[in-house]
Structure 1
Amino acid sequence: MIFTKEGSLIIVSQEEISIERFLEKLENEYAKLKNENLILDLLSFSELTPYNVISFLEIARKHKENEQSFVLVSDKVSYDDIPEEINLVPTLQEARDIIEMEEIERDLGI
């Protein structure tokens, strides 16, 4: 796993592993990441299904309960095919924008 800190967020990307192994590593590292806004960069996975994305639902729920942003980035799955609880966008810039908007909402108490 590759962790890239950018201001108030961390981008998590992978090194030639399966989506299942990526999720397993993320779960193992989660205690260190739970207080950070997270972007999971899934763009390098050549094959990704809605099922793969839904497998991140439990972590997404935990992260939101901790009042932190959690965004997945992939252009291979439509956000129409996954639960609304998961933020899924096609680009890293859109993920950054979502986190910025959510931080503003939290600051305003919305």
Structure 2
Amino acid sequence: MVFDKDEMMTIISQENPSIDIFLRNLENDYSKIKNDNLVIDLLSFSKLTPYNVVSFLELSKKHRKNGKSFVLVSDKVSYEDVPDEINLVPTLQEAKDIVEMEEIERDLEL
């Protein structure tokens, strides 16, 4: 897994083409990143299904419950094909925008 941290978020990507291994590694390393806003870059996965995206749902709920952003990035699956509880966008820029908006909302206690 590749971690790209800045002051507002951590972008996580994977060089290994297996989504199952990526999710397992993410869960294993979660304690290191649990206090960060997370952007999960799934753009490198050529075969991604709505089921693969939904497999992140429990981790997403857990992370958002702690008051942090959790955004998945994929242009292979439409946000319309996954539950509303999952933030899914097609580009990294949109993911960064969501994190920024959610940070503002938290600062304003909305």
* CA-CA distance at 1:15 after TM superposition: 1.1
Counterpart of 1:59 in structure 2 is 59
Secondary structure in 2 aligned to 1:39? strand
> Matches of 2:88 and 2:69 in 1, distance apart?
12
Structure 2: state its 5+ residue gaps: none
For normalisation by structure 1, the TM-score amounts to 0.98
Counterpart of 1:96 in structure 2 is 96
What's the RMSD between the two structures over aligned residues? 0.6
Counterpart of 1:47 in structure 2 is 47
Say whether the 8 Å CA contact 2:16–2:22 is kept in structure 1: no
Superposed CA offset, 1:52-100 (max 9, x none): 0000000000001000000000000000010011000000000000000
> Matches of 2:49 and 2:36 in 1, distance apart?
26
Superposed CA offset, 1:12-71 (max 9, x none): 000123000000000000011111000000000000000000000000000010000000
Counterpart of 1:24 in structure 2 is 24
Structure 1 consecutive aligned stretches of length 4 or more whose deviation exceeds 6 Å: none
Task: Give the counterpart letter for 2:50 in structure 1.
Answer: P
Structure 1: state its 5+ residue gaps: none
> Matches of 2:108 and 2:73 in 1, distance apart?
26
Percent sequence identity is: 67
> Matches of 1:97 and 1:42 in 2, distance apart?
17
Equivalent residues, number: 110
Q: 1:63-74 residue pairs with structure 2 within 5 A?
A: 63-74=63-74
> Matches of 1:78 and 1:15 in 2, distance apart?
22
